């Protein structure tokens, strides 16, 4: 969950990075009593995300700046739409401009890309989820953007759930431990509320995992035929997640195999920033 305290902490650090000893241009060029109005304008079609983060950049720079959010997070918009209106002391508006835009463009880009994936699978029961392939320090921001685009969140961190991936299974194999027995032993030690997911990359790995009573099985880099076979084999005994090789071109066919969840790292690691601009007017003192 993205809290206001988290927003303020990260945005304050970004502002300090951008103007560690003040904004020399604004302070020395603009009259102290000049005021500005700035419209956050969409240059392309998309989904808005990061409104409160955008507003925080201006509020933390100068509490006299007012930000009116015209569009809510999660709303689609067209090119030319005004998404927010900023008014207040011109120096502060221009000092916060880049940081506010950076966050809004990044988060809206993720939300827009997520929305496109969600639209591709809307005729199925599959859910689009993100992964931990996020920008370090910005995971909560990027996860919020995925939700704004209509997607869901996977585990937030390594501490949230057990997820045995191929490298974990490789270590177990090296020790000659039974996968089923190792998973059952882990279940016995874990709190009953902890979810367990296991990644497999072959059909013959599924049954030993099912024998351990695991909640979710990830079918990693399976062909469409093997995805269908995996769904049939699991037969509702666990949640089926598909991962690997997922793109806007392939996600529809993957969803139509009957999987429950499709995890897409590209939502956060490959989303481009959306083209948003801040059109500023300076009022003479």
Q: Is 207 annotated as catalytic?
A: no
**Which has the closest alpha carbon to 49: 159, 141, 128, 173?**
141
User: Which entry of 133, 155, 187, 228 is annotated as an active-site residue?
Assistant: 133
Q: Is 187 annotated as catalytic?
A: no
Number of other residues whose CB lies within 10 A of the CB of residue 160: 12
Q: Is 52 annotated as catalytic?
A: no
The CA-CA-CA angle for residues 34, 40, 45, to 5°, reads: 165
Q: From residue 177, give the alpha-carbon distance in Å to each of 76, 181, 199, 201, 260.
A: 51, 8, 17, 18, 30
Burial class (CB in 10 A: 0-12, 13-18, 19+), 269: middle
Cβ contacts of 17 within 8 Å, gap of 6 or more = none
Distance CA 25, CA 27 (A): 6
Number of other residues whose CB lies within 10 A of the CB of residue 112: 23
User: Which entry of 120, 197, 199, 241 is annotated as an active-site residue?
Assistant: 199
Q: Is 144 annotated as catalytic?
A: no
Distance CA 10, CA 137 (A): 8
Q: Is 98 annotated as catalytic?
A: yes
User: Which entry of 116, 165, 228, 252 is annotated as an active-site residue?
Assistant: 165
User: Which entry of 39, 75, 98, 187 is annotated as an active-site residue?
Assistant: 98
Contact 62, 103 (CB under 8 A): no
Burial class (CB in 10 A: 0-12, 13-18, 19+), 116: middle
Contact 37, 281 (CB under 8 A): yes
Distance CA 259, CA 261 (A): 6
Q: How many residues does the chain have?
A: 285
Catalytic positions: 98, 133, 165, 199, 220
């Amino acid at each position: 969950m993205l809290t206001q305290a988290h927003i303020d902490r990260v945005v304050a650090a970004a502002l300090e990075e951008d103007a560690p000893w003040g904004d020399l241009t604004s302070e020395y060029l603009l009259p102290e009593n000049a005021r500005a109005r700035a419209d956050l304008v969409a240059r392309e079609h998309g989904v808005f995300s990061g409104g409160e983060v955008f507003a925080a950049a201006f509020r933390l720079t100068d509490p006299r700046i007012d930000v009116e959010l015209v569009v809510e997070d999660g709303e689609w918009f067209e090119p030319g739409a005004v998404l927010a209106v900023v008014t207040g002391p011109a120096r502060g508006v221009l000092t916060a401009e880049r940081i506010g835009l950076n966050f809004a463009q990044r988060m809206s880009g993720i939300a827009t890309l997520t929305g496109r994936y969600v639209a591709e699978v809307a005729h199925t029961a599959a859910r689009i989820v993100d992964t931990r392939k996020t920008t370090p320090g910005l995971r909560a921001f990027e996860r919020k953007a995925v939700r704004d685009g209509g997607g869901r969140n996977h585990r937030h961190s390594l501490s949230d759930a057990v997820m045995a991936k191929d490298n974990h299974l490789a270590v177990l194999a090296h020790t000659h431990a039974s996968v089923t027995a190792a998973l059952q032993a882990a279940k016995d030690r874990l709190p009953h509320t902890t979810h367990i997911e296991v990644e497999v990359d072959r059909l013959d790995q599924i049954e030993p995992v099912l024998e351990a009573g695991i909640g979710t099985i990830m079918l990693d880099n399976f062909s469409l035929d093997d995805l269908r076979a995996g769904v049939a084999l699991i037969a509702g005994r666990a949640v089926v997640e598909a991962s690997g090789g997922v793109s806007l071109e392939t996600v529809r066919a993957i969803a139509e195999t009957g999987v429950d969840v499709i995890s897409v790292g590209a939502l956060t690691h490959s989303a481009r920033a959306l083209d948003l601009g801040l059109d500023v007017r300076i009022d003479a003192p």
